[in-house]
Amino acid sequence: MASAKREFASGKLTPEELGRSQRSTIRRLNGELHAFITLIPQDSGRRGSRGPLGGITVAVKDNIYVGGSRTTAGSRVFRRFVSPYDADVVARLREAGATIIGKTNMHEFAFGVTNINPYTGDCRNPWNHDRISGGSSGGSAVAVATGMACAAVGTDTGGSVRIPASLCGIVGYKPTYELISRRGVVPLAWSLDTVGFLTRSVGDAAMLTGLTLGGSRSEPTPDFRNLKPRSVKGMRLGVPWNLLEPLDDDVRLRFRESLALAEGEGARIASVRFEHIREAAACRSLITHAEAASFHRAYFSARFRDYGREMRRRVAQGLAIPAAVYVDALRVRRTLLADFRSLFKRVDLFALPTTRIPAPTVEASKRDETAPAVRTALIALPEPFNLFGAPAITIPCGLTREGLPVGLQLAADINRDFDLLSASLSLERVLPKLPAPP
């Protein structure tokens, strides 16, 4: 985003030239990578070069309404549904001058983290096409990583922005719950869903946040568009080592190198312990399944054959959860949240890998005997911050020996998004810069 704006200002590039180039890239790569479900030929919200996002192209996950365009949520169930209006986040982007270039591929109804999709195509990793993109916002991550769009919007219920961003080597930011409006978003789980951004830099994510604020929170918010790096000297970074194991060897190495770079900038590393890890994971899973089943109940009976096998199983599991168990999960969530927030008496931010493994193969992600382990390895580290509604971000921090990206995840207390992004801006400057995907 920032580099495109500089080229617009210098006259080296026009918005029209950028749009033509990116659409050409989409036509050339999408048949193999499956990043987009729908390409929008002419965005009616385009305003040329006017506004802070004038001429900037933004891809939108296909569970987010773009008025007059299809919103399939990656499923045959909604294959003919046309959005009646813009989601709030899309309306604000258009008001800022952004061009909505298309709707991106996703895991069916956002209920998964691999972006394996039998209807819209398996979203492939641009660093190695035999690998998954991660999900459920996989198409958005691929679009940004390959230059098909300047930035993208996704949703994050258990890591669905951060996981694909990390596996594809870009920045993925999940704000505090309800910092960004969810109106016009097909829900997965109402009390966990968060609209987030996938970008090439922390500064771009902050810019998009500042232009789209407008959730149901009443607290005053700082001006994210004027974000400045916050010195990490003296900053206390807490590492929840008990949550991390097992880690892939290369992920562990890149993470330790990132911590060393942070210490070199003056940060202090402290060990912390996340209590009740299994209970937290079970709590988030119960809430997700129960709330998803509530949304899908009517569609499920009427359109059962249009659901994919994986989605059928998960909705059925949700329908089998007793109401009392769901209420108990909500009560336990409050207790776990209090424990989580108490840790910020000792630390300023948490630091941990984004996923336990780099991008696994498409084949391993599909096989019944290995798919559960893949899912756990991808979701275990990002999902706690959805349960707590806390802001979290992934920043590229290097490559594995096989040339696959690794992400560093940072997380803050609720409503401390500005502090998180300011610190991330500083750390981004010392972390390794990744080349473009080969």
Domain count, the chain: 1
Q: Is residue 218 part of a domain?
A: yes
- Examine the pLDDT at 92 and tell me if it is beyond 90: yes
104 φ, ψ (degrees, to nearest 5): -100, 155
Residue from 420, 428, 423 nearest 179 by CA: 420
Percent of the chain with pLDDT over 70: 97
Please list, in sequence order, all residues whose beta carbon lies within 8 angstroms of the beta carbon of residue 155, skipping any fewer than 6 positions away.
61, 63, 64, 110, 136, 137, 161, 185, 188, 193, 194, 195, 196
- Examine the pLDDT at 432 and tell me if it is beyond 80: yes
Q: Is residue 310 part of a domain?
A: no
- Examine the pLDDT at 219 and tell me if it is beyond 90: no
- C-alpha distance from residue 374 to each of 21, 165, 369 (Å): 36, 17, 10
* pLDDT interval class at 365 (50, 70, 90): very high
Cβ-contact 319, 297 below 8 angstroms: yes
Q: For residue range 371-381, what is the model confidence (pLDDT) as tens digits?
A: 999 999 999 99
User: How far is Cα 55 from Cα 386, in angstroms, rounded to an integer?
Assistant: 33
Least confident of 210-219, 224-233, 254-263, 325-334: 210-219
- Examine the pLDDT at 411 and tell me if it is beyond 70: yes
CATH code at 112?
Answer: 3.90.1300.10
Q: Is residue 321 part of a domain?
A: no
User: How far is Cα 188 from Cα 383, in angstroms, rounded to an integer?
Assistant: 14
Structure tokens at 288: 């997700």
Q: For residue range 132-154, what is the model confidence (pLDDT) as tens digits?
A: 999 999 999 999 999 999 999 99
Q: Is residue 308 part of a domain?
A: no
Active site residues: 61, 136, 160
- Examine the pLDDT at 73 and tell me if it is beyond 80: yes
What is the maximum alpha-carbon separation in the chain?
62
- Other C-beta atoms closer than 10 Å to the C-beta of 434 total 18
Mean pLDDT of 95-99: 96
Specify the pLDDT at position 114.
Answer: 98
Please list, in sequence order, all residues whose beta carbon lies within 8 angstroms of the beta carbon of residue 38, skipping any fewer than 6 positions away.
62, 69, 70, 72, 102, 103
Count of helix runs (H) and strand runs (E) in the chain: 15, 13
User: How far is Cα 332 from Cα 104, in angstroms, rounded to an integer?
Assistant: 35
Q: Is 433 exposed, middle or buried (0-12, 13-18, 19+ CB in 10 A)?
A: exposed
Q: Is residue 317 part of a domain?
A: no
Q: Is residue 305 part of a domain?
A: no
Q: Tell me the residue range of the domain where 40 lies.
A: 2-278+327-430
Structure tokens at 108: 């069916």
* pLDDT interval class at 2 (50, 70, 90): confident
User: How far is Cα 314 from Cα 321, in angstroms, rounded to an integer?
Assistant: 11
Cβ-contact 425, 227 below 8 angstroms: yes
Cβ-contact 97, 56 below 8 angstroms: yes
Q: Is residue 298 part of a domain?
A: no
Mean pLDDT of 165-176: 98
- Examine the pLDDT at 44 and tell me if it is beyond 60: no
* pLDDT interval class at 20 (50, 70, 90): very high
Mean pLDDT of 94-118: 97
Q: Is residue 336 part of a domain?
A: yes
